[in-house]
Amino acid sequence: MVVEVSTGKGFRATVSYVQKEHEPNLTNDRKPEIIEKNNIYGNTRDMAKQMRFVANANERVSKPVMHFSVNFSKDEKISEEQRQQAVKSVLKEVGVKEENHQYFIVKHNDTENPHYHIVLNKVDLDGKKLNLGFDGKREEFIKNRLQVVADKIEKEQGLKRTEGRNIIYDPGNEKGYRFLTAEEKAQRKPRDKKISLDKDPNKREQQSRIQNEVKNVLQDKNITTPDQFKQALDRKGVDVRFSENKNGISGVAFKTDKISVKGSQIGAKWSDISRVLQNNSKSIQETKNVSREALEGYLKEDLQKVISQSLSIGYSANVSGFLKNRGLTPTPKGYSYKFNDAHFIIKSDLEKGILNTILQSKALQTKYEERKAYEEKVKNAKPMEIKPVPFLFAGKIKEENLRAEAYNSRLEQEKEKIKQNPAKEPSQERKALINGYIERAVKSEIQVDEPKNRQEKELSRFEQIKAQREEKDQDQEKKRGFKR
């Protein structure tokens, strides 16, 4: 974990930058995510005004804006919750109090390595300036302090240790940190070479474009061979050139109409690409072991139970809660569902579909009850009286008798119809309605949830590594006779 910092005067420009408002055309998966607004609210302008208002309470602070960036290694397999915990710990370690400071945390998704930005107001709600000095020195030495903070968080939270620090956290030292000795510096492993993007901004832009295209192609789990990889990039205007030796492909280079670049220059070495292709192939093979028929069978049972629970309550039923209880969790892409230790996405709005089915089922019941009430009314209806016709002035009574006879005839016909075809409980119709919906739901598009499957495997692997590391640390501490 690497923590960097800069200071400045303008809140609005910094808040706008971390939200990438200067890049409005980013795709949804690359747009920043707002993690937290603390003691601020609203849009960029609103947040900046609120921070400026608080900062103005201390005129001696000429640069109240503190901008942190917290970067994690792309090779570090930890959960989003663990990363956010580490980010919040940075604020805590530099003395930020949640109830008394304004800050804004944003996650950036446009690079391979997960990284976060924090915009902090150095002036708290009481008008006091946050003490960001280090070792009795001025604020300019905050970068040294952040080395210690990052090292401490890595040790305490079991994160991957970052090589190359000159100052490290040392709880056994009176100050809580210490500088590396000359011998320790000499023993450090040399850092891996960084991606060597060109200094020319135009070339750098082209290199970044190729880098992103390669990354996007490798995210397609159906790409499993070098030929498929090459064809996919060809369609994006990037020519792929392989170099070979007696063992097969040994290197890769990329060429567009504007630039040529080696894979190693943009962090796309063939060894890394080959490993991803192999993992894609393995993932597809694992998915093939799960039959669609078996998956649909289990999904039908779960949906049947959710609908049964929901119908017993009605339209106000907590369908979302019932779905979650059956392992169906809503996501932006659909409903996540686990079957045979594999995660899938059901591309259907299950909650809406179930609520509509409940509504239609209730409508069937209402129609049945209305029909039953009508039948009861007909059964209890009495025929109209046929009056005797007098010798004189009989016209009016004859008309009344004609109407009575017509009514009585209709009444008898209606009673006979009811007798022949009485209203029936709509259980069969309701069953057909529910089964029809379930059948449509399980035939929805179902995709393998690759990120979820990969995350689960990575977390499992991480837990094993963490346990091994803790066991190793404990053994070393026992040898030193050190007790925590």
pLDDT in tens, 334-390: 999 988 778 888 988 999 999 999 889 889 989 989 998 999 999 999 999 988 888
The last residue of a domain, from among 158, 187, 216: 187
Residues 166 and 71 placed together within one structural domain of the fold:
yes
**H-run or E-run covering 319:** helix 319-325
**DSSP alpha helix (H) spans, 129-241:** 142-157, 182-187, 201-218, 226-234
256 has pLDDT over 90: no
Residues 283 and 429 placed together within one structural domain of the fold:
no
Residues 138 and 241 placed together within one structural domain of the fold:
no
The CA distance from 290 to 115, in Å, is 36
In a domain, 337, yes or no: yes
Residues 210 and 177 placed together within one structural domain of the fold:
no
Encode burial over 445-477: b for 16+ CB neighbours within 10 A, e otherwise. Answer: ebebbbebbebeeeeeebeeeeeeeeeeeeeee
Which amino acid, 37?
Answer: K
Residue 194: what pLDDT? 47
Residue 301: what pLDDT? 92
pLDDT-derived band at 484, boundaries 50, 70, 90: very low
Residue 453: what pLDDT? 60
The CA distance from 300 to 442, in Å, is 7
Residues 164 and 222 placed together within one structural domain of the fold:
no
Residues 34 and 97 placed together within one structural domain of the fold:
yes
In a domain, 20, yes or no: yes
Number of domains in the chain: 4
Rg over alpha carbons for the chain, rounded to the nearest Å, is: 36
Residue 456: what pLDDT? 57
Secondary structure in 3-state letters for 274-295: HHHHHHHHHHHHHHHCCCHHHH
Could you list the residue range(s) of the whole structural domain that residue 477 is in? 450-484
In a domain, 264, yes or no: yes
Summarised one tens digit per residue, pLDDT across range 392-413 is 778 888 888 899 999 999 999 9
Residue 462: what pLDDT? 45
Dihedral through CA 446, CA 447, CA 452, CA 457, nearest 10? 110
Encode burial over 61-71: b for 16+ CB neighbours within 10 A, e otherwise. Answer: beebbbbbebb
Residues in Cβ contact with 274 at an 8 Å cutoff, skipping those fewer than 6 apart: 226, 249
In a domain, 112, yes or no: yes
CATH number, domain containing residue 164: 3.30.930
In a domain, 109, yes or no: yes
Question: Lowest-pLDDT range, 93-107, 128-142, 167-181, 340-354?
Answer: 128-142
Residues 24 and 154 placed together within one structural domain of the fold:
yes
Residue 457: what pLDDT? 55
Residues 208 and 347 placed together within one structural domain of the fold:
no
In a domain, 425, yes or no: yes
**DSSP alpha helix (H) spans, 62-110:** 80-93
Residues 12 and 77 placed together within one structural domain of the fold:
yes
Summarised one tens digit per residue, pLDDT across range 147-158 is 889 999 998 888
Residues 278 and 219 placed together within one structural domain of the fold:
yes
